[in-house]
Amino acid sequence: MSSAKHIAIIMDGNGRWAELQGQKRVKGHEEGAKIVKTITTYCSLNPDIDRLTLYAFSTENWKRPRLEVEFLMKLLERYLKNELPVYLQNNVKLETIGDTKAFSKSLQKTIAKVKEKTANCDGLVQSLALNYGAKDEMLRAINILKKEKDDISETMLSDALDCKHSVDLLIRTGGDYRLSNFLLWQSAYAELVFTDTLWPDFSTQELEEILKKFTKIERRFGGLK
């Protein structure tokens, strides 16, 4: 029986969720943030799950209208500030992947503060992908490693990436079947689950069902039974 220790989620469908309700797209992001909290809390209470990596803002998301980008930045900052006590209560450590240097000083400070305050939490790691793109992550790693004289090994490349942990289960909500530049190296042997559910409608019940199916999968990693 396998358990999904590292779950990664592409949280898609916020905009469509809001539009279906006749609301502005940003309302979908706001609802989406509530689901981030629900799913993180659920994972923090499940001892089989060590790490939850969430795609919150991609290197491509800068192409969205300025107001939506600004809203997402503010929402993230508000979320981190408000939820700090919940991180501590649930023993959740915050980590990030991606290049956050492009964010405002204030947001960078908030991220640093929550990371510092949760540094000793030893339960779930919630890793937020912020200004993250797998191609960007790999290029940054290669640029670090190019100073090496020896051949680059798999371990060396893996250690130079922002996310050093292979993904067991990758879920994408919102009905599309693509990886959108998310954790391409780390998901080499991930089980992929695509659901039509829009992220604000995603629930702990649906995650539980996905996890139940995952335990029945025989993972061979290219080998035989």
Quick check: is 159 catalytic?
no
Give the contacts of 112 (CB within 8 A, at least 6 positions apart): none
Single out the segment in contact with ligand FPP by CB under 6 A; choices: 27-35, 92-100, 157-165, 182-190. 27-35
Nearer to ligand FPP, 15 or 98 (CB): 15
User: One of 46, 61, 99, 201 is an active-site residue; which one?
Assistant: 61
Residue 61 is a catalytic residue: yes
Closest CB to ligand FPP among residues 29, 51: 29
Q: Give the number of residues in contact with ligand FPP, rule: CB under 6 A.
A: 19
| For the chain, counts of helices (H) and of strands (E) | 7, 6
The residue sitting closest to ligand FPP, measured at its beta carbon, is: 15
Selected range binding ligand FPP among 11-19, 92-100, 161-169, 210-218, rule: CB under 6 A: 11-19
Binding flag, residue 211, ligand FPP (CB under 6 A): no
Cα(116)–Cα(91) distance, rounded to whole angstroms? 13
Q: Are 192 and 217 in contact (CB under 8 A)?
A: no
Mapped onto helix, strand or coil, the DSSP state of residue 24 is coil
Instruction: Rule CB under 6 A: say whether 98 interacts with ligand FPP.
Output: no
Which residue's CB is nearer to ligand FPP, number 49 or number 54? 54
The number of CA neighbours under 13 Å toward the Cβ of 163 is 32
- Select the residue interacting with ligand FPP from 26, 125, 128, 183 (CB under 6 A): 128
Residue 86's CB is within 10 A of a number of other CB atoms, namely 13
> Per CB under 6 A, does 171 bind ligand FPP?
no
Exposed, middle or buried, 12 (CB in 10 Å: 0-12/13-18/19+)?
A: buried
61 belongs to the binding site for ligand FPP (CB under 6 A): yes
Where do the H-state alpha helices sit in the chain?
A: 14-20, 25-44, 66-89, 105-117, 134-145, 154-160, 204-216
Token readout for 125 is: 């790691």
**Could you give the residue numbers annotated as active site?**
12, 61
**Footprint of ligand FPP (CB under 6 A):** 11-16, 29, 32-33, 36, 54, 56, 61, 75-76, 79, 128, 174, 199
